[in-house]
Amino acid sequence: MTDELLAIEGLGVDLPSGGWLPSRGRPAINILSGVTLDLKRGETLGLVGESGSGKTTLARAVLGLQPISAGTLRFDGAPLESGSDFRAIRRRTALMFQDAAASLSPRMSVGEAVVEPFVIHRAPAGDRRAKALDLLAEVGLPPEMAARYPHELSGGQARRVGVARALALKPALVIADEPTAGLDVSVQAEILNLMADLKDRHGLSYLIITHNLALIRHVADRIAVLYLGRLVETGPTAEIFARPRHPYTQSLIAAEPRPDPRLRRADLAIRGEVPGILRRPTGCEFHTRCPIARDICRSTAPALHTIGTGHFARCHFPETTKKGG
Indicate whether 24 belongs to the interface with other proteins (CB under 8 A).
Answer: no
Q: Is 165 helix (H, G, I), strand (E, B) or coil?
A: helix
Name the one range near other proteins by CB under 8 A: 13-21, 116-124, 144-152, 186-194. 186-194
Indicate whether 9 belongs to the interface with other proteins (CB under 8 A).
Answer: no
C-alpha span between 34 and 200 (Å, rounded): 32
Q: Is 14 helix (H, G, I), strand (E, B) or coil?
A: strand
Indicate whether 270 belongs to the interface with other proteins (CB under 8 A).
Answer: yes
Indicate whether 239 belongs to the interface with other proteins (CB under 8 A).
Answer: no
C-alpha span between 218 and 102 (Å, rounded): 27
For 210, half-sphere exposure in the C-beta direction (CA atoms, 13 angstrom radius) is 24
C-alpha span between 241 and 183 (Å, rounded): 24
Indicate whether 271 belongs to the interface with other proteins (CB under 8 A).
Answer: yes
CB 119 within 8 A of CB 111: no
> Which strands sit side by side in the sheet containing 78-79, from one edge to the other?
28-40, 4-16, 70-75, 78-79
Nearest distance from C-beta of residue 14 to other proteins, angstroms = 23
Q: Which of 261, 279, 309, 323 binds other proteins (CB under 8 A)?
A: 261
Indicate whether 205 belongs to the interface with other proteins (CB under 8 A).
Answer: no
Name the one range near other proteins by CB under 8 A: 107-115, 138-146, 214-222, 278-286. 214-222
Q: Which of 74, 129, 131, 211 binds other proteins (CB under 8 A)?
A: 211
313 φ, ψ to 5°?
-140, 135
Name the one range near other proteins by CB under 8 A: 58-66, 125-133, 189-197, 294-302. 189-197
Q: Which of 19, 21, 24, 51 binds other proteins (CB under 8 A)?
A: 51
Q: Which lies closer to other proteins via its Cβ, residue 193 or residue 300?
A: 193
Closest residue by Cα to residue 223 from 201, 246, 254: 246
For other proteins, the binding residues (CB under 8 A) are 50-51, 154-155, 184-190, 192-193, 196, 211, 213-215, 217-219, 237-238, 251-252, 255-265, 268-271, 273-274
